[in-house]
Amino acid sequence: MKKIAFIFPGQGSQFTGMGKDLYENFDNAKKIFNKFDEISAKSVSGLCIEGSDEDLKQTINSQPAILAVSLAAYKVLKKETGLMPDFVAGHSLGEYSALYAAGVIETEELIKLAQKRAELMSNAPSGSMTAILGLDEETINRVIQEASSEGIICAANYNTPNQTVISGEAKAIKKANELATQAGAKRVIPLAVSGAFHSPLMKPLSQDFTRYINDTNINDAIIPVVTNVDAKPTVDKAELSSKMIKQMYSSIYWNQSIAYMLEQDTDTFIEIGPGKVLSGMIRKINREVKVYNICDKASLEKIKEAVASQLSV
């Protein structure tokens, strides 16, 4: 066996009923949901289990709900398998689950911090985001450069070699969508989001977020966190604090993060949380690695079977 990475999904992975199976079958998962309800002073467990698609699309709801399911799944995985990863990483919001798994932030403080992040992001300045499929990074950068004449625009998420999300002012994004189509993009998909996340438009919110970070007890990581803002392994608490602030307005270097872990002989990735969004991305980056996910009892059993055969299936 080579190295294992635990990866955690972000906003967009949510679905109605997520976490229901974990809540009903595992006491340690139920405790996590109950803690979210208690600290948040609202029924996060209810949102996960019974919330409508419309409810879960709202940033103020989706972020704590996804985090709750991810932490619950992580607790179950650790207890049932005893697996210890060599790296952890998370996509945008998912990085907070990764920080938890690395021992950087304890449960109560993480819930409070994530709630503040969700509140700030739900009030983000108006803007647009678009997923562009089928263009390489060089072409994307050229499109962004040309469209910047219309306003603020950047690459928000480098998801795979052929999938990039752009973010910025609506006029600039509209221009970029046209240019991407002309450049031969396979698909240009406007995203249903409330703001221009991971763009310079988020910088004022990150300044507000700074004081919440400063009031949070943050520890050195016990497992390297491959961080979104630079795709580098990080363990120092001061550096992690700085990167949490920067992440709000910085590009998410996910493709590069996976590439780094592959270079370090990581051959197994376990996606922990709702859905299989990240699993799909990893298979587009490298088809040779082993990819698992855990979001319910059935998926846990597959991982346990794989562990029994040294993750060789």
List, by residue number, the catalytic residues.
92, 198
Query: What are phi and psi for residue 190, nearest 5 degrees?
Result: -65, 135
- Alpha helix (H) residue ranges in 170-202: 170-182
Residue 184 CA to its chain's centroid (Å): 28
Length in residues, the chain = 313
Residues 17/49, Cβ–Cβ less than 8 Å: yes
- How far is 133 from 1, CA to CA, in rounded Å? 34
47: left (phi over 0), alpha (psi -120 to 50) or beta: alpha
Tokens of 78: 């650790």
Which of 226, 221, 218 has the alpha carbon at shortest distance from 88? 226
Tokens of 50: 């019974």
